[in-house]
Structure 1
Amino acid sequence: MEHEKLEKQLGLWDVYAIATGAMFSSGFFLLPGIAAAETGPSVFIAYLVSGLLVLPTMFSVAELATAMPKAGGTYYIIDRSLGPVMGTVGGYGSWLALVLKSAFALIGMGAYISIFIEVPIVPVAIVLTVVFGLLNIVGAKETTALQKVLVAALISIMTFYIAQGLFSVFSVDFFEVTRTQFTPLFINGATGFWATVGMVFVSYAGLTKVASVAEEVRNPDRNIPWGMFLSIMSAIFVYVAGVFIMVSVLDPTEFRQDLTPVATAGEAFMSWLPGDMGILLVVIAAVAAFASTGNAGIMSASRYPLAMARDKLIDKWFSKIGTMGTPVIAIIATVFLMIFFLVAFDVAEVAKLASAFQLMLFALLNLAVIVMRESKIEEYDPGFNSPFYPWIQIAGMILSAVLILEMGLLSIIFTVVVSIFSVGWFYYYAYGKIDREGAIFHVTARLGKRKDYGLEREMRGILREKGLREEDPYEQVVAQAEVIDEPTDKLSYTTIIKQASDILAKRLKMEEQQLVDDFCKAQDLGTIPLGNNTVINHIRVEKDCDPQMVLVRIPESITVSTEGYEVLDEDETGEVENLCAMIFLVSSSENSSQHLRIIAHLAEMIGSRHFIERWNSASNESELREILLRDERFINITITKQNSTRELIGKKIMEVDLPGESLITILKRNGDIKIPHGSTVIEENDQLSIIGDIEDIEVIKEWRKSVEN
């Protein structure tokens, strides 16, 4: 099912801003004093331990989000791994928990504003909800632009705050401070300490919410893991150092009763600033923290109903993308739900109940990694692989279960109620409308159960959307591909396979008949995509080799049955006539993921609107290759004595100084194609095909333009 796609507008610092903004609010500006009442001065250690304990889930989410960068984050991942019933639980629960946390953040923002300006807190929170909602409708880039400003202000002020605080602590007798303020370190022993770890653990929960906007992230394989890693490091530093300062400078008894400990501590060591400048900076930082949590919360939360509507779990209107490229209906629904909670409930109390549900989601996300890996789905191709698999995922699940027990009975009851409602909704509304079953059926397939083949097709679609990785040799493979372009009406499917196998056998130093047999078997296995008058016939061989390709242009009509084939276009079934193009690809079975990425990109190129028109009208072999190449990474140069290219005549390939890591992949001489080697000597009238990075090819294009003039 095709859906309107969200535009990829977000880079590394957008990811960082969303993840960081989702973590800083009540966990730092309200919670430290309450947490200190449980464990005493060791509260700063509890924040450190909690930050480290969230790492297993961070690693799991980074892997899953790079493999499945789709809107809906937690919901989408759980649905595709554990099935739609658990997906419904994850979708509704994540949406509800994030809405509550965002509403609570805006209540906190109103409370800090009221320190300087007497304002009614709930009405201010409602106005802020509407404002952030409108900003989210305008566009994701505009939303994250504000988010980056808020996070930059927060981190800048907190860095100054921490620097001043540490200077104050270490400028006096440090050992005396330690003796008076940190003794006893644990006031309630190990029980109180671990209870505090569970209490503050949820402060880091916002880190994983960035997965819900993964569909809008450019280069998710790089930007999602790095953004999350930088964010958690920033959060741990600010939390631990900031709380350490509070413990050091505040009276222990007063600290444990203080709901604005950051401001109180700031007054103690920033009194040298003029007037109320110290407390004003803290209030600005707090407002920025709460605003960034609320803003990022609306953005992330709205992607859950969007993803659920795409999957027919709720009404399709929630999946509508507005003219600004944002999910308008989903954002409006999220804003109205936040306003409802602000008006009808004590948001602070209800938000606490959602903590156990967030921990349950953490456990499911760790389980999802195990399910996806053990499913052995070839198309599962994460750009980041969690270390220490599966032990770190098992530890994450056990940790979540232990911390859920620390949340109290009401939180557990809240989690059970939401889960029961979600399961009931699935069987009432969605059962019978969907046919997917999740990757867990691939795990049970190893025990003789059925697979969910629809998931494999969907994962292939994700590979197409993600595109190639920098290390994938796509351009080199296409540029070096041999072309069969014979104007004959006696071609048959079998004849073409034999011709292509003969070429590939010479390149791979394999038996031709083995390749013929493998290509013929590929049809029976359903591994030949069809569509747009094109066939891609691809196999993997048990040999350490570079990928090799043959392109075939068919001048006359060939009819091929699609029975048993994997189709690019669901509308093209039965007999495909006027087959104009065939592409043969052979890769090593040791590079299975790379093989699939190359196929996915070929499918993307073949699916373009004017592909077959350009293919049929190409005047020579070079133009056929260029159709499959990304234009900005490829260039042809003809060597002639009539311009400055004559300087290359007589030079060996290894002696040609090309910018960056550009590579001469094909040398065409007297109509023959040659694969150039370092010792190959360039002659007059040679045509060189060069591939490289975009900026390097631009340099060569400028040079070619100058020599031709």
Structure 2
Amino acid sequence: MNKELGLFDVFSISTGAMFSSGFFLLPGLASQYTGPSVFVAYLIAGLLILPAMFSIAEISTALPRSGGAYFFLDRSLGPLMGTIGGLGTYLALVFKTAFAIVGIGAYAAFFWAVPVKTIAIAATFLFMGVNLLSAKNTSRLQNYFVVFLLIVLGTFIVDGLYRVFFTIGIDQPSANNHFQPFLTHGFEGMIATVGFVFVSYLGLTKIASVAEEIKNPERNIPLGMLLSLIATSVIYVLGVFIMVSIIEPAEFAKDLAPAATAVEQLFTWMPGNMGAYLMIGAAMAAFASTGNAGLMSSSRYPFAMGRDKLFPPGFSKVGKKGTPVTSILFTTGLIIFFILVLSEEGIAKLASTFNLIVLMLINFSVIVFRNSHIDSYDPGFKSPLYPGMQIAGIIISVVLIIYMGWMAILFSAFIVLVAVLWFNYYAKGKVEREGAIFHWFALLGKHQHADLENEFMTILKEKGLRQGDPFDSTIMNARIIRASENMDFNALVDHVSGLFSKEIHINKDSLVSEFHTISAIDPALVTPEVSVLYAKYAGIGEPSLHVVLSNKGILKPVGKGTILSEDNIKVFFFLVNPANESRLQLRMLSRLMNIVEREDFVKNMLEQTSDREIKEYLLHNERFITVRLIPEASQGEMIGKQLKEIKLPEDVLVALVERDARSFAPHGYTVLQQNDVLTIIGEPRSIKQLFDLYMSTK
């Protein structure tokens, strides 16, 4: 998947999903269980979802894959729990989407005298058509919706707080009547309400389903989720507080459009009914964005499960427009079914219950991944207070599920039973993988699924390097070796180990042993005519790399899975990494594999005529430029100056100088000479500036 979503997209997808039913439809219904204290329930729900948010953020930064919660549960707890969790997540999102689309009908009724569910079904068909055609602009539209919503809701809160505290007066008898009694059904009523409004925060889990498409996921996912949760919680609590203060309690409890009702007493500074129309428009925009995005994200679950053979293969088929047609049509049918047969309250309760079950399993999944000790599980963000945070999240989910009522619990148990039966009688014979929990069980003598590490290694390749990883400097400092024609593989390993031993003062024999050792990730590193060997050693501070080229090739035994053979290797990489940086080593190896998989890699490597050209080819991307110092060109002014005297952008570095066919890493006092070739690395924007300046004379 293309990584096109940035920080604001993460914030927008999450916030837009949470601002529909949670604000515009649910508050009145929720007040039936706890009365005017309903705004406190929103605050508590926002706090109690923190463990699940941290767990989702951790796994999403480690395994940014389409399928979201389903993928996490399948790879952590195995395909059986993946089936249960995937089905539960799918239904929770379908319920949430149905709930949001009902909201469109409720607010549309302000303009037209039509049945709420008729409008909802018509809107569902509209969203189905949009999803079948294309979804590539969904995030952009979502951004516009969210900006509009934040402006309207921010104005609503400022105007509402002013009216409550300065016009009505919170200490006035009329206001006090709305808050007495504060807890109409005691503590149990409050807990039940918290569980009921949990659906309002379900938008956070949507980030997991689009994690594969997020740029810099290790920063943008946790930060975007946290900012979204803070913004949403503040608006929920203050907005619902305003609704409680303004709307009569009896009317509030049965109001399906409480925000529109409240705004009738606000926005009086606007002409006519402009304020009411603005709020209704904001509500419909919120429901529309949630309904459209909800249909898109929920339909990806049958698609992902079909791809993994847990659902019939027809669900994984993609139409001419690049959309999973079967899955979209099936999901549309389910949404319409739930709109017709369930009440608004019933939809919300079932959505909350399934969400709680899934979040409980995701919290447990973090514990499983951590205890599996899979090196390629490499989250860029780690949940704080582990494992206490996850245990608290599991307990929170269990308690809230209990308070959701027996109907929701029994229905959830029924879905679990259906999922178990489906797995045993349909999917069990079609899948061979097991989850990370088997790696944990391996400590107890049980078997583990070795291919899981290969899959995680593949994901690590797609994620790329982490900011601060010393890959560029390792390439720049690498030794380039031309192998002699008669050298065999064992002699080459011995020779390179000896060079490492002299250069970084490590034991030669232990290096030879490690270079010959086969690990679980080796099958992911097998590429024709290329061999990547690696070792870890205590006491070194930075990775070190040697690259060996052989025009004739050197025979080396290789294996992929259970297949063993020999390959004539023409390019060898020998990487030695600090022993305490096993995940850094995996990221470095993953980046090397991305380079190795370029078209005609071996041919291009062997055609390079100098060490500088080889290193530049390995680094080739938008982050470097090569500049030759020619007197008559603009860069000629550098000749004769010390490197520290040259004015270059702050975020670039002269990493390599080639002079008289010899390459070296310069320092600040290096005096540049005519015909020196500078290799400059840095941020793409600054490199482009240098390219535009020097390209005509490069």
Q: What is the letter of the counterpart of residue 537 of structure 1?
A: L
Query: Cα deviation per residue 1:5-39 (whole Å; 9 max; x = unaligned)?
Result: x3333332222222122222332223222333332
Q: Does 1:63 align with 2:58?
A: yes
SS of the aligned residue for 1:207 comes to: helix
Residue number in structure 2 paired with 1:159: 154
Within 5 Å, give how 1:355-370 maps onto structure 2. Answer: 355-370=352-367
Residue number in structure 2 paired with 1:112: 107
In the alignment of these two chains, the number of paired residues is 696
In structure 1, distance between residues paired with 2:30 and 2:524: 60
Pairwise CA distance, 1:183: 4.1
SS of the aligned residue for 2:554 comes to: coil
SS of the aligned residue for 2:576 comes to: strand
Within 5 Å, give how 1:542-557 maps onto structure 2. Answer: 542-557=538-553
Q: Does 1:561 align with 2:551?
A: no
Aligned pair partner of 1:259 in 245, 256, 260? 256
Tell me if the contact between 2:56 and 2:362 (Cα under 8 Å) persists in the aligned partners: yes
In structure 2, distance between residues paired with 1:190 and 1:423: 35
Q: Does 1:389 align with 2:379?
A: no
TM-score by length of 2: 0.94
Within 5 Å, give how 1:498-513 maps onto structure 2. Answer: 498-513=494-509
SS of the aligned residue for 2:526 comes to: strand
Range moving further from structure 2, 638-647 or 151-160: 638-647
Pairwise CA distance, 1:276: 2.1
In structure 2, distance between residues paired with 1:59 and 1:549: 36
Query: Cα deviation per residue 1:449-501 (whole Å; 9 max; x = unaligned)?
Result: 12211110100000011111222222221122111124x32122123223323
Tell me if the contact between 1:533 and 1:576 (Cα under 8 Å) persists in the aligned partners: no
SS of the aligned residue for 1:550 comes to: strand
Residue number in structure 1 paired with 2:399: 402
Q: Does 1:143 align with 2:133?
A: no
SS of the aligned residue for 1:560 comes to: strand
Residues 665, 496 of structure 1: CA spacing in aligned structure 2 closer, same or farther, 3 A cutoff? farther
Residues 350, 701 of structure 1: CA spacing in aligned structure 2 closer, same or farther, 3 A cutoff? closer
Tell me if the contact between 2:80 and 2:423 (Cα under 8 Å) persists in the aligned partners: yes
In structure 2, distance between residues paired with 1:679 and 1:244: 66
Tell me if the contact between 2:457 and 2:524 (Cα under 8 Å) persists in the aligned partners: no
Q: Does 1:631 align with 2:621?
A: yes
Pairwise CA distance, 1:429: 1.1
Residue number in structure 1 paired with 2:12: 17
Pairwise CA distance, 1:259: 3.2
Q: What is the letter of the counterpart of residue 165 of structure 1?
A: G
Residue number in structure 1 paired with 2:515: 519
Residue number in structure 1 paired with 2:125: 130
In structure 2, distance between residues paired with 1:142 and 1:410: 39
Residues 441, 573 of structure 1: CA spacing in aligned structure 2 closer, same or farther, 3 A cutoff? closer
Tell me if the contact between 1:154 and 1:289 (Cα under 8 Å) persists in the aligned partners: yes
Q: Does 1:701 align with 2:691?
A: yes
Tell me if the contact between 1:522 and 1:537 (Cα under 8 Å) persists in the aligned partners: no
Aligned pair partner of 2:658 in 662, 668, 674? 668
Q: What is the letter of the counterpart of residue 681 of structure 2?
A: I
Aligned pair partner of 1:496 in 492, 510, 535? 492
Within 5 Å, give how 1:421-500 maps onto structure 2. Answer: 421-486=418-483, 488-500=484-496
Residues 46, 299 of structure 1: CA spacing in aligned structure 2 closer, same or farther, 3 A cutoff? same
Q: What is the letter of the counterpart of residue 661 of structure 2?
A: G
Pairwise CA distance, 1:82: 0.7
Residue number in structure 2 paired with 1:97: 92
Residue number in structure 1 paired with 2:281: 284
Query: Cα deviation per residue 1:355-385 (whole Å; 9 max; x = unaligned)?
Result: 2221111100100111111111100111211
In structure 2, distance between residues paired with 1:84 and 1:686: 59
Tell me if the contact between 1:611 and 1:627 (Cα under 8 Å) persists in the aligned partners: no
Residue number in structure 1 paired with 2:73: 78
Tell me if the contact between 1:15 and 1:223 (Cα under 8 Å) persists in the aligned partners: yes
Residue identity over aligned pairs, in percent, reads 44
Aligned pair partner of 1:541 in 537, 541, 544? 537
Pairwise CA distance, 1:226: 2.3
Pairwise CA distance, 1:70: 0.9
Query: Cα deviation per residue 1:502-537 (whole Å; 9 max; x = unaligned)?
Result: 433344233444433332345799589321310001
Q: What is the letter of the counterpart of residue 598 of structure 2?
A: S
Q: What is the letter of the counterpart of residue 52 of structure 1?
A: L
In structure 2, distance between residues paired with 1:703 and 1:275: 59
In structure 2, distance between residues paired with 1:192 and 1:347: 19
Tell me if the contact between 1:483 and 1:552 (Cα under 8 Å) persists in the aligned partners: yes
Query: Cα deviation per residue 1:236-259 (whole Å; 9 max; x = unaligned)?
Result: 111101111112222334333433
Q: What is the letter of the counterpart of residue 486 of structure 2?
A: K
Tell me if the contact between 1:74 and 1:90 (Cα under 8 Å) persists in the aligned partners: yes
SS of the aligned residue for 1:268 comes to: coil
Q: Does 1:41 align with 2:41?
A: no
In structure 2, distance between residues paired with 1:137 and 1:304: 16
TM-score by length of 1: 0.93
Residue number in structure 1 paired with 2:21: 26
Tell me if the contact between 2:52 and 2:363 (Cα under 8 Å) persists in the aligned partners: yes
Tell me if the contact between 1:549 and 1:585 (Cα under 8 Å) persists in the aligned partners: yes
Query: Cα deviation per residue 1:585-612 (whole Å; 9 max; x = unaligned)?
Result: 1111222222111111111111122212
Residues 337, 613 of structure 1: CA spacing in aligned structure 2 closer, same or farther, 3 A cutoff? farther
Aligned pair partner of 2:586 in 575, 591, 596? 596
Residue number in structure 2 paired with 1:585: 575
Range moving further from structure 2, 240-249 or 488-497: 488-497
Pairwise CA distance, 1:171: 1.6
Residues 645, 97 of structure 1: CA spacing in aligned structure 2 closer, same or farther, 3 A cutoff? closer
Residues 460, 44 of structure 1: CA spacing in aligned structure 2 closer, same or farther, 3 A cutoff? same
Residues 515, 672 of structure 1: CA spacing in aligned structure 2 closer, same or farther, 3 A cutoff? farther
Residue number in structure 2 paired with 1:3: none
In structure 1, distance between residues paired with 2:492 and 2:666: 26
SS of the aligned residue for 1:163 comes to: helix
Tell me if the contact between 1:475 and 1:630 (Cα under 8 Å) persists in the aligned partners: no
In structure 2, distance between residues paired with 1:499 and 1:127: 73
Residue number in structure 2 paired with 1:169: 164
Residue number in structure 1 paired with 2:339: 342
Residues 629, 138 of structure 1: CA spacing in aligned structure 2 closer, same or farther, 3 A cutoff? farther
In structure 1, distance between residues paired with 2:638 and 2:508: 38
Q: Which sections of structure 1, spanning at least 5 residues, go unmatched?
A: 1-5
Within 5 Å, give how 1:202-281 maps onto structure 2. Answer: 202-281=199-278
In structure 2, distance between residues paired with 1:26 and 1:617: 62
Cα RMSD (Å) of the superposition? 2.4
In structure 2, distance between residues paired with 1:613 and 1:7: 28
Tell me if the contact between 1:353 and 1:411 (Cα under 8 Å) persists in the aligned partners: yes
Residues 527, 146 of structure 1: CA spacing in aligned structure 2 closer, same or farther, 3 A cutoff? closer
Aligned pair partner of 1:53 in 48, 56, 67? 48
Pairwise CA distance, 1:53: 0.9
